[in-house]
């Protein structure tokens, strides 16, 4: 695929000198550089994982899991001592 890039003159001049010195093409140098940057940044990207916020013993079902829906709702919407409930 063809594309147009704007490259700072000093950088382009330096890249051309390196390509000439190494018997390479400017295109090859650009592709090598892009591959390197893409590989480095791809390695940094990790999928976001939520931390485990379970309460109680690992692997055991939470106490709330055993409650009936009405009891869960009562606990969720119960007002606390600080006046924070509904």
Number of domains in the chain: 1
Q: Is residue 33 part of a domain?
A: yes
- Report residue 70 as tokens: 């009405």
Instruction: Please name which of 68, 69, 67, 85 lies closest in space to residue 77, comparing C-alpha atoms.
Output: 85
Which residues span the domain enclosing 32?
Answer: 9-44
Q: Is residue 64 part of a domain?
A: no
Most distant CA pair in the chain, distance? 78
**pLDDT per residue over 37-68, tens digit each?**
998 888 776 777 887 776 666 666 667 777 88
Q: Report the share of the chain in percent with pLDDT over 90.
A: 41
As a whole number of angstroms, the distance between CA 44 and CA 48 comes to 12
**Residue 19: pLDDT over 80:** yes
């Amino acid at each position: 695929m063809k594309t147009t890039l704007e490259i700072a003159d000093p950088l382009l001049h330096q890249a051309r000198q390196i390509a000439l010195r190494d018997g390479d093409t400017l295109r090859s140098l650009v592709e090598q550089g892009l591959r390197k940057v893409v590989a480095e940044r791809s390695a940094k990207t990790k999928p976001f994982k939520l931390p485990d916020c379970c309460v109680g013993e690992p692997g055991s079902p939470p106490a709330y899991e055993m409650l009936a829906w009405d009891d869960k709702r009562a606990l969720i919407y119960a007002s606390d001592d600080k006046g924070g409930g509904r």
